[in-house]
Amino acid sequence: MPNIKVLDMAGKEVSSIELSDAVFGITPNESAMHTMVVNYLANQRQGTQSTLTRTEVSGGGRKPWRQKGTGHARQGSTRAPQWTHGGIALGPKPRSYRFTVNKKLKRLAMKSALSTKVLDNNLIVLDSITMNEYKTKTITAMLKAVEAEGSKALIVMPEVNSFVIKSAANIPGVKTALVNTINVYDILNYDKFIVVKDAVAKIEEVYA
């Protein structure tokens, strides 16, 4: 079982924790993680792009010239795709890019992402994050103490703490999340995975 030291907000080791092999100690499956990242990004797309076809462009109601005898190619409308200001042929229309991934693959990808952080020594476990005021300096000092300053950091908490969330909100490259809102994309996208000890237990409860 991976054994990780538990730090306090000052960066001092206060204890250690044994992580579950079933969640934090598997061989990462890159294919599963890739699928989940693509799925996450596809589901974020609004799909609202739209172009006008020849039936939707204004104008072009009458035939520009007679069918024969002019020397020009025959034309039926000045809003056909080959005309300037004409409609777009086969252009994009609003659509949904969403696709679903089965539960088994989701779990494998999540455990692979968590195990990757352990293998890369980018998992930081904190004893707790206690704050009783909105203070960005407190979060900045904590990140510096745990050697995560200047890195993209994902802070995972077991429950909502508005002091932590709002204090970290305007620090570039720092994001806060709850156990039930973390996803594979964020885990891989952020360099440091900072998780509160109580949140580790919840993650293991869900994915073990």
Fold of 3-30+102-207: Ribosomal Protein L4; Chain: A; (3.40.1370)
The band of 188, judged by pLDDT with boundaries at 50, 70 and 90, is: very high
Q: Please give the pLDDT value at position 80.
A: 95
Dump the DSSP string for 37-81.
Answer: HHHHHHHH---------TTTSS---S-SS-SSSSSSPP-S-TTST
What's the pLDDT tens digit per position in 123-180? 999 999 988 899 999 999 999 999 988 889 999 999 998 999 999 999 999 999 999 9
Which stretch of DSSP H or E encloses residue 203?
helix 197-207
Q: What contacts 55, CB < 8 A, 6 or more positions away?
A: 87
User: Which among 176, 193, 58 is positioned nearest to 120, based on CA atoms?
Assistant: 193
The band of 208, judged by pLDDT with boundaries at 50, 70 and 90, is: confident
Domain boundaries, the chain: 3-30+102-207, 46-96
pTM above threshold 0.85 = no
Which stretch of DSSP H or E encloses residue 3?
strand 3-7
Q: Please give the pLDDT value at position 79.
A: 95
Give, rounded to a whole angstrom, the gap between the first and last alpha carbons of the chain: 13
| Residue 49 contacts residue 94 (beta carbons within 8 Å) | yes
What's the pLDDT tens digit per position in 8-50? 999 898 999 999 999 999 999 999 999 999 999 999 999 999 9
